[in-house]
Amino acid sequence: MELTLTPLEFARRTRRLYPQREAVVDRDLRLTYEQFFDRCDRWSSILQGMGVVKGDRVAYIAPNTHAQLESFYAVPQLGAVLVPVNFRLTGEDFVYIVEHSGAKVLCVHADQLDAVDSVRDRMPGVERFIALEGAREGWEDYEALIADASPGFERPEIAETDLLTINYTSGTTARPKGVMITHRNAYMNSVGTLLHLRIELGQRYLWTLPMFHANGWTYTWTVTAAGGTHVCLPAMDPARVFELIREEEVSWLCAAPTVLIMLANTPERVRGDVPSGVHVVTAGASPAAETIERLEGDFGWTVTHVYGLTETTPFITVCERRPEHEGLSTRERGALKARQGVELITSGELRVVDDEGVEVPWDGRTVGQITVRGNVVMSGYYNDPEATEKAMGDGWFHTGDAAVTHPDGYVEIQDRIKDVIISGGENISSVEVEGVLLRHPAVLEVAIVGVPHERWGETPRASVVLREGETATEKEIIAFARDNLAHFKAPTQVEFVESLPKTATGKIQKYVLRGGASAVSRQ
């Protein structure tokens, strides 16, 4: 009999082989894999007793804690569908996602209890409200329930095409869409991750990436598959990150480029000694070569850029290191590592195509849209056949990312198609301009958007966050861009801001910047 391709297989193997290895560190709590899976089984038993059956949805609103991690095993092994919700959203958002997904049980961290209490009367589909921490009147206590539970429950038959999770997109311009990820999708992404990003037995992974975001890029299961240790980090704090790296001997972490910028620029007095040898996986936006150079050159870390979307489970490509790259200078390697890279062995087929669906030449110049099909592509958007048809009706998932393919097969994103600036008939990549301006010694972060121009149609505008203690003028920034770019690509306007608007996963919200200065915090 063939085994189902499901990440639950990783749990079976690890609990059999490594029961006494440390599985989870969450503040003062430490669990072996035997203890961790016992807790998962107890919670599965409780949920089954609550009437949760195969296909039911169970939603979680929580940061990176042991309880959130347990959900990625306890819910799916019942055949139920996990709905990990972005805990930084508003009560209004919680209502929409919980009701749209049809969640029967809602599990909430102490920090979000007030937000949910303010709208819970608008969640008629939820039958049980569970407090993961800080239980109070009207809430059932997660820890108390587990303490009193039996680990025995009835395991249903699970097919690899069954739904594993529904992950809601950020919904920056419309209602968020529910991405349906199957057991097979997650299994294949985890195996591909283990092949290309080789976390080893006993290594320790720091949860700097939110678990709710594309299931923590499937590291919720990948670390377990490797017999590694999950080191939980409920809130992003650079000083705490460096502290945990030292104290817990962390080997791996994942983070969006904005988080890497934060870490790279943390003052020495705050970060202290930085252990070398940390493996960093970054995605979510194109990392600047400058940031990669600093982490690798100053910290002695290894940075690998991957690319994907929630709809692709999420990894499509990895910027894999090749022997011929070793002779490159630090700057040349940084520029290469900023590319999105090549297909993972397990992900499926990727093409960059023109408007007619024809693959563009591998010349590093011709721009097309990234499309993909294969093992990691979602089964569709939950209860949204129109959006599903629009995104993947021809059998290929259309990412909306504009890219080129280099002669060596490495893909490099130029922009989101909607973010390409067309000025006087010329296409300008905001990513390219941002990468240049990040080399200015005073610039910490920058975002480029197109704004209306009477003569050229559009022109680039830069929103710049300066490094602490540094100064610069609009003229200086524009002159720096003109010295390092074709003049038509240089911004014609520069605004200095205290911070850039971002999603909970660190992506810059360019639609906010286009909407005007009122949405941006200024210096």
Which pLDDT tens digit goes with each residue over 134-159? Answer: 999 999 999 999 999 999 999 999 99
DSSP per-residue string spanning 436-455: HHTTSTTEEEEEEEEEEETT
Sign of CA dihedral 291, 295, 298, 302: negative
510-518, long-range: CB < 8 A, 24+ apart: 510/416, 510/419, 510/430, 510/447, 510/449, 511/172, 511/173, 513/447, 513/449, 513/461, 513/463, 514/449, 514/450, 514/451
Q: Is residue 200 pLDDT above 90, yes or no?
A: yes
Sign of CA dihedral 72, 75, 80, 81: negative
Q: Are residues 155 and 253 located together in one domain of the fold?
A: no
Supply the pLDDT for residue 519: 37
CB 125 within 8 A of CB 103: yes
Supply the pLDDT for residue 1: 63
- pLDDT, one tens digit per residue, over 327-363 is 888 778 878 888 999 999 999 999 999 999 999 999 9
Q: Are residues 319 and 442 located together in one domain of the fold?
A: no
Q: Are residues 424 and 308 located together in one domain of the fold?
A: no
Q: Are residues 167 and 31 located together in one domain of the fold?
A: yes
Structure tokens of 17?
């082989």
Q: What does the CA dihedral 319, 321, 323, 326 come to, rounded to 10 degrees?
A: 110
* Residue that is written with structure tokens 């890219």 in the block: 403
Residue 219 neighbours by CB distance under 10 Å = 27
Q: Which of 416, 435, 454 is the last residue of a domain?
A: 416
Residue 227 lies in a domain: no
DSSP per-residue string spanning 289-321: HHHHHHHHHHS--EEEEEEE-GGGSSEEEE---
Residue 65 lies in a domain: yes
Beta strands 302-308 and 315-318 are antiparallel
- pLDDT, one tens digit per residue, over 356-412 is 999 999 999 999 999 999 999 999 999 999 999 999 999 999 999 999 999 999 999
What's the CATH code of the domain at 35?
A: 3.40.50.12780
Separation of alpha carbons 214 and 208, rounded Å:
14
Q: Are residues 409 and 462 located together in one domain of the fold?
A: no
For 104-121, what is the mean pLDDT? Answer: 97
What's the CATH code of the domain at 433?
A: 3.30.300.30
pLDDT category, 520, cuts 50, 70, 90? very low
How many folded domains does the chain comprise? 3
- Name the residue range of residue 490's domain: 420-519
Q: Are residues 289 and 307 located together in one domain of the fold?
A: yes
Using a cut of 0.95, tell me whether the model's pTM lies above it. Answer: no
Strand partners of residue 206: 231, 253
Structure tokens of 523?
């210096």
Beta strands 128-131 and 204-206 are unpaired
Residue 214, SS3 per DSSP: helix
Q: Are residues 474 and 409 located together in one domain of the fold?
A: no
CB 6 within 8 A of CB 184: yes
Instruction: Give me the percent of the chain exceeding a pLDDT of 70.
Output: 96
Residue 193 lies in a domain: no
Q: Are residues 495 and 362 located together in one domain of the fold?
A: no
